[in-house]
Amino acid sequence: KAGVTQTPRYLIKTRGQQVTLSCSPISGHRSVSWYQQTPGQGLQFLFEYFSETQRNKGNFPGRFSGRQFSNSRSEMNVSTLELGDSALYLCASSLGRRDRGFRPLSGNTIYFGEGSWLTVV
Amino acid sequence: DAKTTQPTSMDCAEGRAANLPCNHSTISGNEYVYWYRQIHSQGPQYIIHGLKNNETNEMASLIITEDRKSSTLILPHATLRDTAVYYCIVRVLSGGSYIPTFGRGTSLIVHP
């Protein structure tokens, strides 16, 4: 079956602009999470969505936002772009299963997409 | 911070087994060990994961020590296309979700 699909694959933006990235999860996966990867900071968690609700958020400024649609597809938006926002943005999906206590199952495997390369000039 | 420690780099001859070690001495009882690899400019690719028992799939084998404080990923017959950065991760429970924390990984170079 198809993997996690991200669009666009590459894009160049100017400082001050905003950008929207799209992610289609693996069919049947309800959890979508976003990450930023840079050479200096490595791979950092941005946020996670499940059933159209943000379930968790990393330590990023409010310029970074996201949403999830009823079909589990997700978008992330970065407003007022800065040069430091240049990075590989990765989307990952998983089943998002929880136990009866609504605790996340540590065995939920997450699968990453190929990423969107954003360059801010 | 990543909960795992891996060597920075390793190399392996094509056709030989590549054994990549990982230390995760603070792992707790219900946490899985996951392995991913990342080829330059691509997203991390899932390889394998395990809890207590050794695991094998079409890509690799995972050997976990009895005390679960370390593990080894084995690529039985490495090819040039296996050259990548390999990440061993134990996901951190934070804010109600298991968040993967990637360290620097092991850069594996497979040479002819």
Instruction: Note whether A107 contacts B100, CB cutoff 8 Å.
Output: no
Q: How far is CA A109 from the centre of its chain?
A: 16
Q: How high is the pLDDT of residue A2?
A: 76
Q: What is the pLDDT of residue B29?
A: 78
B:13-32 residues touching chain A, CB 8 A cutoff: 30-32
Judged by CB atoms closer than 8 Å, whether chains meet at B103 and A90 is answered as no
The answer to whether A42 touches A95, Cβ cutoff 8 Å, is no
Above 80 in pLDDT, residue B105?
yes
Higher pLDDT, A56 or B80: B80
Using CA coordinates, name the residue in chain A closest to B104: A42
Q: What angle do CA B61, B63, B68 make, to 5 degrees?
A: 145
Q: In the prediction, which pLDDT does B1 show? A: 57
Quote the pLDDT of residue B67. Answer: 92
Mean per-residue pLDDT, B62-89: 96
Q: How confident is the model at residue B103 (pLDDT cuts 50, 70, 90)?
A: confident
Determine which of A11-20, B33-42, B79-88 has the lowest per-residue pLDDT on average: B33-42
Q: Cβ neighbours of residue A15 under 8 Å, at least 6 residues apart?
A: A81, A82, A83, A120, A121
Of A4, A56, A109, the CB nearest to B95: A56
Residues of B whose CB is below 8 A from A43: 44, 100, 102
